[in-house]
Amino acid sequence: MPAHVALVTGASTGIGFETAIALRAAGYAVYAGARRVDKMEPLKRHGITVMLLDVTSEESMVSAVGLVEAAYGRIDVLVNNAGYGSYGSLEEVPMAEGRRQFEVNVMGLARMTQLVIPGMRSRSSGRIINVSSIGGKIYEPLGAWYHGTKFAVEGMSDSLRLELRPHGIDVVVIEPSGTDSEWGTIAGGNLLANSGDGPYKEHAHIVAAALASTSGPGHVLSTPARVVANTIVRAAKARRPRTRYPVGRGAWSVLAMRRILPDRIFDAVFLNLYKRLAG
């Protein structure tokens, strides 16, 4: 029997994929879930169990948690990583897409957490690691839906930390900056599809280019996904984990600026930075 059992959502690429590998290397029994099961085939070579997991489907989530608990009788660590970025002006993004953004990034995270809490509470032990973003503390033009979800994850995690502490369950937030995954490129593409030709097109092209500059190896603010994964493993293993782990190039400096600068000055600095990144 392994010392610990972990379940990772959104494990088909990027942070989730690397986190599954890093946890397995650290001795965890790892279950990796995502909608694109074919993308997770390489994880099997590491001794990781892969499974279909759609965080917008009640049946899929219940089935995934049940599968792990049936095999090991417990889940020690839940890594809520599934999510994506829906960009575009609030005016132009359809409400159905806005709801889907919250369904994946917030409601899916909340439901996965609900499902593992009873088992953790019964053992007075467990750790819930929510992958947020520096986007849960800062904001961007044309990112209202995405940042709304990440701000929600931050607040939800803080409340959850207090209510679960008496039951021996830790709640940790991971706050990555841009990673060398397809995330920024996809988010930028969605942004241009929604707002690239309308009244917000000038801003849209600047923000899309800036998003691309934080995504993929070798880019200005890109951090290897394995760096974030290693931070998640540290949070999983720590005897007394920190409540938050900012990680990645620029994460600490951007968050420090947000704390120090008044809103209007931060607005100006950030817009100027985006113009330079779009360059």
Is 146 in the active site? yes
Closest CA to 22 of 247, 201, 192: 247
Contact of 168 with 124, CB cutoff 8 Å: yes
The strand order across the sheet containing 244-247 reads 49-52, 29-34, 5-9, 77-80, 126-131, 169-176, 244-247
Helix (H) or strand (E) run with residue 6 in it: strand 5-9
DSSP 8-class letter at 45: G
Contact of 204 with 191, CB cutoff 8 Å: yes
The CA-based diameter of the chain, rounded to the nearest angstrom, is 59
Burial class (CB in 10 A: 0-12, 13-18, 19+), 196: middle
Per DSSP, helices labelled H in the chain are 14-25, 58-72, 95-102, 108-123, 144-164, 183-195, 201-212, 225-237, 251-260, 263-278
Name, in order, each residue with C-beta under 8 angstroms of 164's C-beta and a sequence gap of 6 or more: 117, 120, 121, 128, 170, 171
Q: Which of 139, 146, 200, 274 is catalytic?
A: 146
Measure CA of the first residue to CA of the last residue in the chain; give whole Å: 54
Helix (H) or strand (E) run with residue 88 in it: none
* Residues assigned a catalytic role: 146
